[in-house]
Structure 1
Amino acid sequence: MEKMVIFGLGKELYGMDIFELKEIIRMAEITRIPKAPSFIEGVINLRGKIIPVIDLKKKLGIYGNENPEEKRILVTDVGGQTAGLVVDYVHEVADVEDKDIEPPPAVLEIEGRFIKGLAKMGERIVVLLKADEILSLKEKQELENLAKEGMQG
């Protein structure tokens, strides 16, 4: 059994192992960084630490409803560095039985490295993500450079 944070991006539900998350915070004021990759919203000051913030919907190419009041930032580790992932809302923390998790379809193998599996929760399917695999190696390096620049600024 795994404990998952279930969150919404557009009309779909996604999940992430709760142990991959450091915390969930309300949307904070984001400082934009010039020339950052399009999916990087900018940086926030989290208790004195500058962390980059990734718009998960932009990164995954998802469009759809947003309610700014419900947006949250999932603080996690991406490529050995603390980063925030913007999600539309947090739905629940749920226990997911191992028997209810299926591997991602083979067609997703290359682009879907960040998909841990598909969880059946009642009639719904929740796409389970691996936080550390959301960014490619090149994107992780860009994120690291961004954090260094943010600390110098």
Structure 2
Amino acid sequence: MNSDTTQTADKYLTFFLTKEEYAVDILRVQEIKGWSQVTTIPNTPKYICGVINLRGTIVPIIDLRLRFNLPCQEYGAMTVVIVVKVLSQDAKERIMGIVVDAVSDVYDVAENEIKPPPNFGSVINTEFVRGLATVDEKMVIVLDLDRLLNSAELAIVESLSQ
């Protein structure tokens, strides 16, 4: 095989929401922390749980179950917050936390292994999905972190971070 045609794999952190496994580019992950109480903010969308103070930085927390219109679940000892970096439309980097049921693993996935999402039958809106990848004989939904929130929602998140 010609080394020019081989593609290096990127690392993806996988996590669960209900029984589905999702993945995000590990280079976007700042840290993983257990669930802790958040300060709720009035007049925000239901999926914005509130904010936490992370070493002096105000971090908005987004519940992916609510964002994806999945059934609610009580937060408990296994609930995890993944603190991620997202880019807004003006290319500014923002920090936000996403609430997930449990962190799973880190997988190597080459870009050419990520297939476009189908237009039907998906449990979440495909606008949030970068693609689908097969790892260890199971399907993983690769999320597009930059599309989890639109510009108006990002403006809310930005105002919470100040």
Question: Please, what TM-score do these two structures have when normalized by structure 2?
Answer: 0.81
User: Which residue is 1:68 aligned to?
Assistant: 76
Residues 26 and 71, structure 1, Cα contact 8 Å, conserved in 2 = yes
> Which has more radius of gyration?
2
Alignment check: 8 A CA contact 2:58 2:160 kept: no
Q: Does 1:141 align with 2:149?
A: no
- Tell me which protein shows more helix as a share of its residues: 1
Q: State how 1:18-37 maps to structure 2 within 5 Å.
A: 18-37=26-45
Residue aligning to 1:101: 114
Q: What corresponds to 2:56 in structure 1? A: 48
After TM superposition, give the deviation of residue 82 of structure 1 in Å: 0.9
Query: Are 1:88 and 2:96 matched, yes or no?
Result: no
Structure 2 unaligned regions, length at least 5: 1-8
The separation in 1 between residues aligned to 2:111 and 2:42, in whole angstroms, is 43
Supply the RMSD in Å over aligned alpha carbons: 2.0
Q: Please point out which of 119, 122, 128 is paired with 2:142.
A: 128
3-state DSSP of counterpart to 1:139? helix
Q: Distance in 2 between matches of 1:128 and 1:57?
A: 15
Identity %: 37
Give the count of matched residue pairs: 146
Change (3 A) 1:63 1:4: same
Using the alignment, how far apart are the partners of 2:105 and 2:11 within structure 1? 10
